[in-house]
Amino acid sequence: MEYKPAKTIAWEAQSEEHFTGQAWFGPWSRVSKESLNALNVLFAPGSRTDWHTHVEGQVLFCIGGAGLVQTDAAETVEMSPGDVVYSPPGERHWHGATPHKHFEQLSLTTGGDTEWFPEKVSDEDYHRR
């Protein structure tokens, strides 16, 4: 067993390559990329990912704050602590914080790396509800 107190998680600032605004990763899993990838992600208010998909889908669990998840079909949900969103394999989507609150999520994926699109989420898409 390995015990890791919250205060010892090494948060890694993310670049603007795949994010708008400030976001940090707190890796949890220690397995191969093709296995379970458990990642704690913290978004500053107004920050978000770029458009992307996951080979085998993604489960998002809201740990704290308020988050947004939107699909390519413009379906948007607002997440609160305890909420869960599942994006099926290949579904193009983005997620991040609401304009005025931080968002902390647990992201669970399998099947390898995230497939990023070279496209930022527009302000129009971000504010669409």
The string of pLDDT tens digits covering residues 45-77 is: 999 999 999 999 999 999 999 999 999 988 999
Q: Show the domain range for 33.
A: 23-112
Q: Does some domain include residue 3? A: no
Backbone angles phi, psi at 112, to 5 degrees: 110, -165
Query: What is the pLDDT, as a whole number, of residue 30?
Result: 63
Cβ(78)–Cβ(128) below 8 Å = no
Show the tokens assigned to 55: 């080979």
| End-to-end CA gap in the chain | 43
Residue 2 has pLDDT above 90, yes or no: no
Cβ atoms 77, 85 nearer than 8 A: yes
**pTM greater than the 0.75 cutoff:** yes
Inform me whether the pLDDT recorded for 120 exceeds 70: yes
For the chain, the domain total comes to: 1
- The position carrying tokens 């085998």 is 56
Q: Which runs of consecutive H residues, i.e. helices, occur in the chain?
A: 123-127
Average pLDDT over residues 113-125: 94
Q: Is 65 among the domain residues? A: yes
